[in-house]
């Protein structure tokens, strides 16, 4: 009876909480993001400092200021994101993009981790199923009560398994 009450309370509380979450999640409209900031974080500075364009503070960097200016100019021209990034690729090469694109062989970069996740999950499920199907050890015919060292072994094992 007590368990049923707990279940009901749990369900009700969960429903209320999820409802609140949903309400807040759909409140309001999406703001216009800062495109400069977003695109600047999708580009690398090419001064070989290996830093994101907007994070490059390499002392004496001769590239980052100029590249930021070019990015701003691209946005002022009203170019869309893809076109702006493409301008940079044409000028500085593909390494200017901070992440592989979703085209051609570069797609493999994105697919592999998820493929590994799926394969890993399938393998884990396979292992779990195989383990669960493994037959339990057959009970011996004339069972004698365990004692001595064997009993102590079981006691130790039980303590290990159940200790709080």
Q: Which CB atom, from 147 or from 163, has the smaller least distance to other proteins?
A: 163
How far apart, in whole angstroms, are the C-alpha atoms of residue 13 and residue 21? Answer: 12
CA atoms within 13 A on the CB side of 10: 6
Q: With contact defined as beta carbons under 8 Å apart, do 59 and 50 qualify?
A: no
> Quick check: 93 binds other proteins (CB under 8 A)?
yes
- Least distance in Å: CB of 105 to other proteins? 5
Give Dmax over CA atoms of the chain in angstroms.
90
**What does DSSP assign to residue 96?**
G
Distance of CA 45 to the CA centre of its chain: 26
What residues between 1 and 20 interact with other proteins by CB under 8 A?
A: 3, 6-7, 9-10, 13-14, 17-18, 20
Taking residues 107 to 126 in sequence order and writing x for each that binds other proteins by CB under 8 A, - otherwise, the string is --xx-xxx-xx--xx--x--
Q: Which CB atom, from 82 or from 142, has the smaller least distance to other proteins?
A: 82
How far apart, in whole angstroms, are the C-alpha atoms of residue 76 and residue 5? Answer: 62
Count the Cβ atoms, other than its own, within 10 Å of residue 108: 10
Tokens describing residue 42: 């999708």
Taking residues 33 to 72 in sequence order and writing x for each that binds other proteins by CB under 8 A, - otherwise, the string is x-------xx-x---xxxxx--xxx-xx------------
Binding site for other proteins (CB under 8 A): 3, 6-7, 9-10, 13-14, 17-18, 20-21, 24-28, 30-31, 33, 41-42, 44, 48-52, 55-57, 59-60, 93-101, 104-106, 109-110, 112-114, 116-117, 120-121, 124, 127-128, 131-132, 134, 136, 159-164
């Amino acid at each position: 009876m007590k368990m049923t009450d707990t279940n009901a309370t749990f369900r009700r509380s969960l429903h209320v909480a999820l409802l609140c979450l949903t309400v807040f999640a759909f409140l309001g409209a999406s703001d216009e993001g800062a495109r400069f900031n977003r695109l600047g974080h999708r580009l690398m500075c090419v001064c070989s400092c290996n830093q994101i364009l907007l994070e490059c503070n390499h002392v004496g960097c001769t590239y980052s200021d100029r590249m930021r200016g070019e990015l701003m100019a691209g946005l002022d021209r009203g170019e869309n994101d893809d076109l702006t990034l493409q301008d940079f690729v044409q000028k500085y090469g593909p390494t200017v993009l901070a992440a592989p694109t979703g085209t051609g062989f570069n797609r493999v970069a994105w697919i592999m981790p998820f493929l590994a996740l799926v394969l890993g999950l399938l393998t884990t499920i396979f292992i779990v199923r195989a383990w669960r199907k493994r037959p339990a050890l057959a009970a011996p015919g004339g069972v004698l009560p365990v004692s001595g060292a064997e009993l102590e072994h079981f006691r130790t094992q039980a303590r290990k398994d159940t200790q709080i």
